[in-house]
Chain A
Amino acid sequence: MASQTFRSIKEVPLEEYFTPGHRACQGCAEAIAVRHVLKAAGRDVIVVNATGCLEVVSTPYPYTAWAVPWYHVAFENTAAVASGIESALKVLRRKRLVADKKIHVVCFAGDGGTADIGFQALSGALERGHDFLYVCLDNEAYMNTGIQRSSSTPYGAWTTTSPPGKVKPAGQMTYKKDLPSIFAAHGIPYVATATVSYPLDLINKAKKGLDVEGPAYLHIYTPCPPGWRIPSEKVIQVSRLGVQTGMFLIYEAEKGHLRLTVKPSRRKPVAEYLKMQGRFRHLSDEDVEKIQRFVDERCAKFGLPPLEAST
């Protein structure tokens, strides 16, 4: 397969490898992300899927929404299983037992399966340099089991295990773990972040990550309508606002060279992003300001323009 990038959405293949009939909630952004990553991968792919929303909604026995080989593994060993598959493919190819073409290995895991539980397996696999693409679908909490906080939950978010109260008025009191930076620090050839509101950017990043020799890490921000307390039709808007306010930084780091791929020319105040979501409803003005300061600092580090003058 040629490693060309798609220049327009019309060039993206129409084939669906994540078929309709899966039981994701209305407006599930994870399903959009998976559809597009698989379009980039094509037919020759083996998918390793950690436990989580995606596994639960895509394969209620005896149905499967996957039209490609698919493994369900536990939360903690996604990257370990992918390493094994990649090594086995290498041996089989050497023994001429499989066709001599590139077979991609793609892992899908949620933020819980990446930031918390599957962290050490992934860190090990990246360090060993196995050739696979790891996709983290970040919906910022354990949505599968009923919205419990993970270490990827942002400051101020309501979840069932970080409820806002008298002692902790902001809800989640810690900041989001910066996963892409952690995995970039492993010195792997390709790290990127993407979100569903910029689908072409997402598909091209997945393609690049698959074509690169060695491990690649793709972090996709996927808004979750029930967990974020947003109406299902607003998913793409929230995701777009996340980028425009600087909450999601969309960049890629190729061999250590960092480049912002979606650069909002004018940055909006984070309050716009926060007030769309029910999980931030309890936030006081001070908390919003605190988040704004945090985002400003982070954006300055990445070379994004300062916030436009408030009107």
Chain B
Amino acid sequence: MEELIEKLKVQIIKQLNLEDVEPNEIDPEKMLFDADNELGLDSIDALELIVLLDKEYGIKVKSQEEGKSIFQSLVTMAEYILEHQK
């Protein structure tokens, strides 16, 4: 799980074009789309995360509600991937 979270940090930085963010600056427990999150993610980034899951893990997000629960934090993303990865 920890290994996957570290991998996700690197993939998210690349996918979301956060070139000046270091992996150790991302808190895996923090709400990804919270207004207080220093990454400043928005709806376009939600699309990017959906693309990332599809491209890297072969997982298709089927609904907005499902997306909301998957993308709460890096931990919830990693848990979902471990459960659904093809």
Verify that A and B bind, or say they do not.
no
Residues of B within 8 A of A (CB): none
